[in-house]
Chains A and B, each alone.
Chain A
Amino acid sequence: MLAIDGSLLDFKQLDLLAMRQTAIHRLDPRAKVLTTLIFIICVVSFGRYEISAMLPFLIYPVVLMTVGDLPGGYLLRKILIVIPFALVIGIFNPVFDRQVIMQFGPFEIWGGWISCMSILMRAILTTSVALILVAVTGFPATCEALEKLGMPKVFAVQLLFLYRYIFVLTDESVRTSRARQLRTFGRRGLGIRQFGSMIGHLLLRTWNRAERIHMAMLSRGFSGEFHTTHRQSRFGREEIVFMGGWIAFFVLFRVYNAPQLLGRLFTGTMP
């Protein structure tokens, strides 16, 4: 039960973070969405055994987190929850890929371990930037940016409605399962039949609510067309500098393995 309440709270907190007013929050959402996408493409395009070359990419989430005034511990916890999903697959790498890739005295390191680490690294980088994007932009603004970038309006409206009613319906879901739990007296688990009717009730209530929302929309002149005023946002100098700067950074560090070069400089193995 705590888990359900917790994930709801989590959701609300991420939304609250988006309401802060920092230089990053103020940027046009499009700049942040595009930069994030390019970041992810750069990261996932690295080779299978790449680890060190990805490290400079950590700078982006770190900078956004600090300038955007986001609580590091909170984001870290959220990232840690998700990472096991990628690792479940990654952990098979050492099983199947036993090519010796590195040797420190008697210790042999298989390619599988390296590529597994690489998956971990990718997971950390990609999940952190996705979460940070929402935390510094907010979901509605992200949708708006995507709509301006060509997402169909019907889908944008769908995303906004979904987002709005997640808060209402998850509350209902929490109440329903709390009420059930209080009457099960410690017997754990929910039978599939009970579950069916519980979810059925939830669905009926949802359906009725959708009808009431429709009524409310009609009574305010809704006729099938959705008019939204877009928040004032412009793609100005700051956005160009932000995007241009970061993309240059990503491309540079995608092509050159800076940690490798740096390490050679220090260990004197420069060719």
Chain B
Amino acid sequence: MHMADALVSPAVGGTLWAASAAMIAYSSSRVRKNLDERKVPLMGALGAFVFAAQMINFTIPATGSSGHLGGGLLLAILLGPYAAFLTIASVLMVQALFFADGGLLALGCNIINLGAFPAFIAYPLIYKKLVGRKTCQSRMVMAGVIAALVGLQLGSLGVVLQTVVSGVSALPFNTFLLLMQPIHLVIGVVEGVVTVLVVSFIYRARPEVLDSAHQDKPLGELPMRPLLAILIISALLIGGGLSWFASESPDGLEWSIARITGSDELPETDHKGHKQLAAIQEKTALLPGYSLPAETRDAHDPTPTAAEERIGTSLAGIVGGTITLSFCLLIGIFLKRRAHSQRIQASR
């Protein structure tokens, strides 16, 4: 599943953006260094292939629902981790821009979830280790399924963590996890089977294609370190962001922890930062005084809690909102008219 901009907070989105940008930079330099120039058009064409392949749906046996190829693991098998990572990242970027699938800020999350996990963990640490040097059908099937499974489980765990830490969605961690992981278990098995089917098809038709990918430098050992470092650093950063959220804002983890533990009210927080934030929120919220629980409001809060006042401010929000909306519309109509009349003048 793609993370969407609408569900991501700037801290989470920004952190993962930075992490994925670092990974892209590192992978680019790796691809550049042991440049096999044949790979330049190959990566592009295979990226387009994933795009094209995703347009074709197949029926998942025994369920009646349909699925399509994810392609992360397949690309890693065909291209090796670094080139595959860049290829997946490029596919995700086109999806974000052309289909607004995911979104620009959430792009970092998606690149990590759908690119880094299959390319840097599922393929080198699982698939390659399990398949070993010899390519035999049954081992390939097993390795493919397990690798795809792990890759997708990690990816969906990423989605859950990023969503919960962002705190835009109210889904509690446990519930969301229980929702996502089993679905991705099924998707993982299917992805693994499809990947192996395609790989063994290629193996029969043109074995040298797979050999060339295998002859790439072994990627299981040394060069993985910087990447793991990036992963760990970004995890720490997220953790940092997480605690920042927990201490300064009711949004985010604290809030979802409160949900999980079943208490409807948030624990009191008396940080200075929180008060400032609350003050800003008072100024900016549609419904000031309601976006924060009563306990956290303090003395200088100008809004009384009387019932009429509530309706008054809510009304203010709605009236003001309507005026703003009509204003947007008017600007649009005005500009369109002007452009139209200019065009008429130009054509005269």
Contact = CB atoms under 8 A, between A and B. Distances in A.
A contacts B directly (C-beta below 8 A): yes
Interface of A: 4, 7-8, 11, 14, 36-37, 40-41, 43-53, 55-56, 58-59, 62-63, 65-67, 69, 78-79, 81-82, 85-86, 89-90, 92-93, 95-99, 101-104, 111-112, 114-115, 118-120, 122-123, 126-128, 130-131, 133-134, 139, 142, 151-155, 157-166, 168-170, 172-174, 176-177, 189-204, 206-207, 209-211, 213-214, 217, 222-224, 226, 254-264, 266-267, 269, 271
B229 interface: no
A92 B321 contact: no
Contacts of B91: 162
B201 A196 contact: yes
A191 B58 contact: yes
A43 B10 CA distance: 9
A112 B170 contact: yes
Interface in B298-335: 302-303, 307, 309-321, 323-325, 327-329, 331-332, 335
A115 B280 CA distance: 18
Given A45-B9, A82-B100, A86-B7, A173 B320 contact: no
Interface of B: 1-2, 4-10, 13-14, 24-25, 28-29, 31-32, 35, 37-38, 40-49, 51-53, 55-61, 66, 69, 86-87, 89-91, 93-94, 96-101, 103-105, 163, 167-172, 175, 190, 193-194, 197-198, 201-202, 205-206, 209, 251, 259, 264, 280-281, 283-288, 290-291, 293, 302-303, 307, 309-321, 323-325, 327-329, 331-332, 335-336, 339
Nearest to A264: B316
Given A85-B2, A255-B284, A210 B46 contact: yes
Contacts of A157: 40, 44
Query: Quick one: which of A139, A198, A207 has the most chain B CB within 10 A?
Result: A207
A249 to B, nearest CB: 12
A176 B193 CA distance: 21
Contact of A40 (B59, B105, B194, B285): B105
Nearest to A222: B37
Contacts of A257: 283-286
Given A37-B104, A78-B99, A192-B58, A52 B324 contact: yes
23 contacts: A52-B324, A56-B328, A65-B332, A82-B4, A95-B170, A96-B170, A102-B287, A126-B5, A131-B98, A154-B31, A157-B44, A158-B86, A161-B41, A162-B87, A166-B47, A166-B51, A170-B55, A192-B61, A199-B56, A207-B45, A226-B40, A255-B283, A261-B320
Contacts of A118: 168
Given A4-B55, A99-B264, A162 B193 contact: no
Contacts of A209: 45
Contacts of B5: 40, 43-44, 86, 122-123, 126-127, 130
Contact of B169 (A90, A151, A204): A90
A92 B56 CA distance: 30
A237 to B, nearest CB: 21
A133 to B, nearest CB: 7
Nearest to B329: A62
A34 B69 CA distance: 33
Nearest to B255: A48
Q: Count chain A CB atoms within 10 A of each CB in B29, B309, B324 and give the residue with the most.
A: B324
Contact of B55 (A114, A152, A177, A207): A177
A271 B232 CA distance: 49
Contacts of A78: 99-100
Given A122-B168, A162-B90, A267-B319, A203 B311 contact: no
Nearest to B96: A130
Given A66-B332, A102-B310, A196-B197, 15 more contacts: A46-B284, A49-B290, A63-B335, A86-B7, A92-B175, A120-B6, A123-B6, A155-B28, A159-B90, A161-B47, A173-B55, A213-B41, A224-B40, A226-B40, A260-B313
Contact of B336 (A66, A93, A134, A159): A66
A43 B25 CA distance: 28
A105 to B, nearest CB: 9
Of residues A62, A89, A111, which shows the largest number of chain B Cβ atoms within 10 Å of its Cβ? A89
B17 to A, nearest CB: 9
Contact of B94 (A48, A120, A133, A159): A159
B194 A50 contact: no
Given A78-B100, A102-B287, A161 B55 contact: no
A133 B97 contact: yes
Contact of B307 (A7, A103, A191, A200): A103
B98 A139 contact: yes
B324 A259 contact: yes
Given A153-B28, A269-B312, A52 B320 contact: yes
Given A44-B5, A62-B328, A99-B264, A130 B285 contact: no
Contacts of B8: 44
Contacts of B307: 103
Interface centre among A123, A130, A193, A201 (most CB of B within 10 A): A130
Most buried by A among B52, B86, B285, B339: B52
For A56, A120, A159, A172, the residue with the greatest tally of chain B CB atoms inside 10 Å of its CB is A159
Given A192-B194, A202-B53, A258 B324 contact: yes
A47 B285 contact: yes
Nearest to B205: A204
A260 B325 CA distance: 12
A204 B42 CA distance: 12
A170 B48 contact: yes
Nearest to A171: B52
